[in-house]
Chains A and B, each alone.
Chain A
């Protein structure tokens, strides 16, 4: 049986995935190149102001990214499945709120459709928020689970999964894409299966009827209490490192040079790998799907002659994680552009040929 597919942009697929995951609260502030998400959510989530009408979810266009992320914080605290979306400069503004969400152990989904930076940058695609996404970004010792889709179908699928992960670990999740992924259209198979929504959250703020009051906070004044809490967070992160690392590996068993790329960049790298394989060259690809936790397994290659080439739309950010993963066993080379520049298949092939000659 042929499965029906519909044509969606990456941004629309993320919005559709969120709705099917039971997302019932969205707050956002417009910024290019992710505006289709906020528009899609506005269309599909009629705002419920008074509670008199039947709510299908709450949509709010916030007055700023600061307000948007803190609305998400409040909605999560109230037990809703909540999401916001933005692009690089907007995500920078949200970092304080993300730190509070992490510190209050709340499940939230934050979409970052990256554009060029630093500063106002431009509206062209880039991957230069990798450090910000994977190293916490805001203040304090915390992590997000960072999911990096490389096609529109995956943008839809990973968004659906992200709400489950957020609830399971009570952690904010970031969907990290770029302007190409957000804007391009591809056929998507929408699964009819809706996520099971856990409506009972015993820690949520709903009024203390029949129970002791719930407090949602990240403030620990008593000496030692914050350290104790941080150790609890770290134990959660350790579980996530063990269980949730995801990647795709192509032609790894006999590869002499392994490309490492994520998101849109991985699609271009895959094109280069296929061309090189057609020429009989033994090239493989590792595509991390979770950027945090960074997948360690595919890098545990004992053969010291295997070389790695990291390709990014940024200047050596994921490169650091790859170097940590290979622990100096193998040589790691780098090819990157940013500020709207995208490495082409030809550039990648030329670089690989140079490495093969070394």
Chain B
């Protein structure tokens, strides 16, 4: 029988450290599959984030760097400018990209840096124990919004993708989700598009990935997927934004 599903060459054959039901494993694989399919493994440079995916380079089989919390797009900007022939991407969570690194995010996008950004949005700080993120939904309980996020105290969920889409330097923004097999396939297409844009010198591309965090949502893995479908995507609608 023909084998139709493989471990990508860009993904090491090792178990990951993520919690049951976490979206990082799936997102890592999607990136690896895309890198393989585009035949760019030997010229790809990934920037691993600070946060749960900090050791992404233990799973990805290509050159990688890390960056201080929030600074991935400054690091990526320099690597891409020094080696324009390399394919450079950052993989960042919502705390990283939308809180401490907002400045770097906006300015790299506004310069139109020819980079691909994978933005994992799970509405909490996972690594540090489930605190409120800029993307935390109104009413969502976290360890620093015990009664749920309230707009009077904490402001509104930050819609980074919509914000970036208005910048002329930004070529492509799409929001995808990992809550069902169909959505995972769409996520993969979007990630591929972001890499293809870079190969074609089109400028800044960002894919926002709604990703489950069962541990800090206090839900089972299945409930987490349903919560993305029923609640989270109402605040963060899926589809191409630019």
Dominant secondary structure at the A interface:
loop
Point out the residue from A68, A208, A209, A216 that lies within 8 Å of B65, measured CB to CB: A216
Residue interface bits A310-341, CB-to-B below 8 A is 1, else 0 = 00000000000000000000000000000000
A82 to B58 alpha-carbon distance, docked (Å): 27
Closest chain B residue to A76, Cβ basis: B78
The yes or no answer to A186 lying at the interface (CB within 8 A) is no
Closest to B41 in A: A208
| Chain A residues within 8 Å of B63, by CB | 205-208, 213-215
Complex Cα distance, B95 from A291, in Å, reads 39
B76 within 8 A of A: yes
* Partner-binding segment picked from A31-39, A46-54, A264-272, A347-355: A46-54
Interface membership of A73, Cβ < 8 A: yes
Does A75 lie within 8 Å of B71, measured CB to CB?
A: no
Point out the residue from B57, B76, B78, B104 that lies within 8 Å of A63, measured CB to CB.
B104
CA distance in complex: A18, B177 (Å): 48
Asked whether, in the complex, the Cβ of A219 is within 8 Å of the Cβ of B54, the reply is yes
User: In the assembled complex, which residues on chain B have CB atoms less than 8 Å from the CB atom of A218?
Assistant: 66
Q: Chain B at the A interface: mostly helix, strand, loop or mixed?
A: mixed
What's the least CB distance linking B53 to chain A, in Å? 12
**Is B104 touching A207 in the complex (CB atoms < 8 A)?**
no
Tell me whether B68 and A70 are in contact (CB under 8 A).
yes
Contact for B78 among A25, A50, A206, A208, CB less than 8 A: A25
- Residue B42 is within 8 A (CB to CB) of chain A in the complex: yes
| Segment among B81-89, B142-150, B212-220, B232-240 that sits at the interface with chain A | B81-89
B26 neighbours in A (Cβ, 8 Å): none
- With both chains docked as a complex, state the minimum distance between the C-beta of A70 and any C-beta of chain B, in angstroms: 4
A335–B55 CA distance with the chains assembled, in angstroms: 51
- For B66, the chain A residues whose CB sits under 8 A away are 104, 216-219
B45 within 8 Å of A (CB atoms) = yes
Q: How many residues of B contact A (CB 8 A)?
A: 37
* Chain A residue contacts of B104, Cβ below 8 A: 63, 66-67, 70
Q: Is B242 an interface residue (CB 8 A)?
A: no
B82–A25 contact, CB under 8 A?
Answer: yes
- A70: chain B residues within 8 A (beta carbon): 67-68, 71, 74-75, 78, 104
Known: A60-B81, A71-B78, A78-B78. A207 touches B68 (CB 8 A): no
Does chain A have a CB within 8 A of B211? no
| Interface hub of B55, B71, B76, B114 (most chain A Cβ within 10 A) | B71
Q: Report Cα–Cα, A79/B83, bound state, in Å.
A: 9
Is A296 an interface residue, CB under 8 A from the partner?
A: no
Q: Is A209 within 8 A of B43, CB to CB?
A: yes
Shortest distance from the beta carbon of A110 to any chain B beta carbon, whole Å:
15
Cα–Cα distance between A75 and B74 once the two chains are bound (Å): 10
Jot down 29 A-B pairs with beta carbons below 8 A, ordered by A: A25-B78, A58-B78, A58-B81, A60-B78, A63-B103, A64-B103, A67-B103, A67-B104, A68-B74, A70-B67, A70-B74, A71-B74, A71-B77, A73-B74, A74-B74, A75-B78, A77-B75, A77-B78, A78-B78, A78-B79, A78-B82, A97-B68, A100-B67, A104-B66, A207-B42, A207-B87, A208-B63, A209-B42, A215-B64
Task: Give me the 7 closest cross-chain CB pairs, A-B, nearest first.
Answer: A51-B84, A74-B78, A207-B43, A74-B75, A70-B74, A70-B71, A209-B42
Q: Please give 12 more A-B residue pairs, beta carbons under 8 A apart, in addition to A97-B68, A205-B83.
A: A27-B78, A51-B84, A64-B103, A67-B71, A71-B75, A77-B78, A205-B64, A205-B65, A207-B42, A207-B83, A208-B42, A219-B66
